Amino acid sequence: MAERREVCIPIGKRTYTIQTDLGDDAIGRIVGIVNEAGGTIGEDIDQNNLLMLTCLHLAYNLEKISRLLESLDRKLKDLVP
């Protein structure tokens, strides 16, 4: 496990400093996911609304993935005797 360090994460119009032990690759993937979700919302929106709508967008995507995984799990259980 990597050592805990401070990392700057840009979200919307601000940059947030967090402490993490995640590596650069993981941080890059996470920032990419957040920026992709926030990028679908638009530019003429205040930061608080951007954060809230980004969270809702990510929660919606997570729920869709969860339903898909549950469906795949049921199909696999039907295949395995």
- pLDDT of res. 49: 94
Mention every residue, 6+ apart, whose C-beta is less than 8 A from residue 61.
37
Q: What domain range is 47 assigned to? A: 5-79
Q: What is the pLDDT of residues 21-72, one digit of tens each?
A: 999 999 999 999 999 998 888 778 999 999 999 999 999 999 999 999 999 9
Q: What's the domain count of the chain? A: 1
18: β partners? 7
Q: What is the pTM of this model?
A: 0.79
d(CA 32, CA 81): 41
